Amino acid sequence: MADRTADRQHAGPLAGLRVVDFSTGITGAYASKLFADAGADVVKVEPPDGDPLRRWSASGAPIADGESGVLFHYLNASKRGVVADLESDEGRALARDLVARADLAIESFGPGGGAARGLAWDDVRAANPACTLVSISPFGLTGPWAERACTEFTLQAAVGSTAHRGLPELGPVGAGVRIGEGIAGVYGALGGLCGWLPARRTGAGQHVDLSMFEALVLSMTIYHDLNSQFFPGPLPQSIETPSIEPAKDGWVGICTITGQQWKDFCAVIGRPDVGEDDRYYDAKVRMEHLEFIHGVIHAFTKEHTVDEIIELLSLMRIPVNPLGNGQTLLAMDHLRERGVFVRNPAGFEQPRAPYRLTAVNGGRAPELRPAPALGEHTQQVADELAREGRASARTTKPEGGGPLPFEGLRVLDLTAFWAGPVGTSVFGDLGADVVKVESIQRPDGMRFAGSVRNDRMWEFNPIFHGANSSKRDVTLRLDSPEGVALVKRLVEIADVVAENFSPRVLENFGLGWDVIHALNPRAVLVRMPSFGLDGPWRDRVGFAMNIEQVSGLAWLTGYTHLPLVVRGACDPLGGMHAVFATALALEELRRTGKGQLVEVPLVEPALGIEAEQIVEYSAHGVLLERATNRGPFAAPQGVYPCADLDETGRSNGHVAIAVATDAQWRALCTVVGDPSWARAPALATADGRRAAHDAIDEGIRAWTQQRKRAEAAQVLLAAGVPASECVNPHALFPNEQLT
């Protein structure tokens, strides 16, 4: 395909990169969206009847013939589109020609699907040895679970995310609308980028086998595999306190990660005695006394408005924010002032690319081009292929270097807690020399959050271990002239400097962008504040739970009457976006020789993956709502109690089930014995099943309660019904698929 940027002004860090996307659905589309937003030429290849996502609307808004839903427009803006029937010789020939001229290909055919279409790794390598292939599948292309039926809802249950979220008396609850598919998308984009970078040096493309299951293990659990080695036994079902609390005029989101924040919170709400009680520093103890703790909190929150609570808690630097949703987000002053929302050519507002690179277009979001109509560019692309001819297939002249994407890169790591450290650990895992800076007086706070209490407490936090692999560590004082002088020496030899303080901290240390750029004009400074470097919320403190509260992730998670946080997903999500954005800045450095400031506010990647409720409201005026474990994608969908019992005789086992197709519904009916409640003709369609969800749930529960969860899941999976045990997160290992 021709380089469409050669005759115009530089259009993005990845201008000239050629990506061909054979995937369908959300995950691959989000991965290729990140490339398109960065200036790559992305060609979306669809079957003759189109990507099913064209006909999807979470709100149920009608989609006219020949038109596409708003989520499709959001995910596929700025791409070109062709139609190729990969069941035909002609379609396969077109696919091979596209691969022959591509730097990167993305597919989601599943195990054996690529081979059936002439697009297995060996086929891609034969067509173009320099092309990197990203294969997206639920469990990976190999292993005993590779062919297992699933949806994102059952994947959440399988990784242990669902079982420990919620109130024990109401049962476990999954996270909201297809969050994990977006999360896996950024891992797919990052995997593709990390395959392409060394391919440019070596001339040999790489095969990236992306398991959505493994991406969710990293993002929707809080290193529970490590936690189980530090804290044996099952992890109890729980909610956070304080978290999303009722105010006089709505919901307010609060987070107290540190003991000092909890103590200060109790003082603000007029109960310093509770803050001084050592027992309640432990969130597990607060959960054991939930009625008392909620009484203390709600006596304050229900007597104040959301704005009043935010003003009071912010004065004490306690993380607090309003609860966002598809309607309120569009009106939030901070997001409007920062220009977070841009106009999609299809006529609605959407989140912009979730980072700012100041040296590219002045940090402005790239101009969006319309998503392609089905087959819109088929002839255009065919003409380009004909002009280039087979003789000019994409070739790469090796530049020398090894197979790891970040070999030789030097990263100065000033980050703490989770989002920053997990991002810098990726650089270390993939070849960079990462030096983490702490001080004895003020070490990384994650070393102590929920740690085992003993004389080696510094080294006994599982999240710290999980997020800080492949690094070296030094201690020095940033609040002393000698310490700052040492940091400046490290800046002078670094390629990347990364930090995730609140915005004013770096400048207070005398290490702002102007200073770092003067010390090392080639250095890339990566900043990861919660809400950005400017705007009305600039100085607000925020953790992952705050981002989930304000971004809309929590709005769609929880019980109908009670929104809940996802628990931590925004930290690895922000970290992976930061790695991707940093790689873009390094491409700019390669092109211009100049370093730049990279800004990745944690709230913006969260908005990017949960944009569906924003675009649905902007386009159709429909606010998506929580429905406990139900959702618009599958029906029936739920978490059902099984016959497992705990020591008190209470049900201690659940199975997650999500019926996404009519064929799966017929299989479910067969498994449960074709009962009379399942025979109504209206239940043959998803709409009919959704209307009768209460009755169906009652029938499924009658079946699951006669079986232990492992047996129920096995029988359903054997019939091809998406199902999973609700795995306790401390019991994720041993796991035959991960092994």
Query: How far, in whole angstroms, is CA 103 from its chain's centroid?
Result: 25
The fraction of the chain above a pLDDT of 90, given in percent, is 86
Contact status, residue 544 vs residue 570, Cβ threshold 8 Å: yes
172, 551, 587, 599 from 353: Cα distances, Å: 33, 15, 17, 11
pLDDT band for 258, please (50, 70, 90 cuts).
Answer: confident
Question: Has residue 9 got a pLDDT over 90?
Answer: no
pLDDT score for 282: 87
Query: How far, in whole angstroms, is CA 331 from its chain's centroid?
Result: 24
Contact status, residue 717 vs residue 711, Cβ threshold 8 Å: no
Most confident of 3-12, 67-76, 651-660: 67-76
357-402 pLDDT, tens per residue? 987 666 666 789 999 999 999 999 999 999 887 544 455 566 667 7
Alpha-carbon torsion 622, 625, 631, 637, what sign? negative
Question: Has residue 87 got a pLDDT over 60?
Answer: yes
Q: Give the residue among 43, 51, 47, 46 at the shortest CA–CA distance from 103.
A: 43
Distance CA 398, CA 274 (A): 65
Q: Give the residue among 344, 396, 387 at the shortest CA–CA distance from 365.
A: 344
Question: Has residue 180 got a pLDDT over 70?
Answer: yes
Question: Has residue 716 got a pLDDT over 90?
Answer: yes
What are the residue numbers of the active site? Answer: 571
Contact status, residue 471 vs residue 414, Cβ threshold 8 Å: no
- HSE-CB at 308 with a 13 A cutoff on CA atoms is 13
- SS3 (DSSP) at 238: strand
In the structure encoding, which two tokens stand for residue 262, read together?
A: 């909890």
What's the chain's length in residues? 739
Mean pLDDT of the chain: 93
What average pLDDT does range 34-45 have in this prediction?
97
pLDDT score for 403: 85
Contact status, residue 309 vs residue 323, Cβ threshold 8 Å: no
Q: How is residue 35 annotated by DSSP?
A: H
pTM of the predicted model as reported, rounded to 2 decimal places: 0.96
What average pLDDT does range 274-295 have in this prediction?
94
Q: Are strands 496-499 and 524-527 parallel, antiparallel or unpaired?
A: parallel
The strand pairing partners of 133, in sequence order, are: 105, 207
Contact status, residue 103 vs residue 17, Cβ threshold 8 Å: yes
Q: How is residue 48 annotated by DSSP?
A: T
89-134 pLDDT, tens per residue? 999 999 999 999 999 999 999 999 999 999 999 999 999 999 999 9
What average pLDDT does range 423-434 have in this prediction?
97
Q: Give the residue among 138, 136, 101, 133 at the shortest CA–CA distance from 120.
A: 133
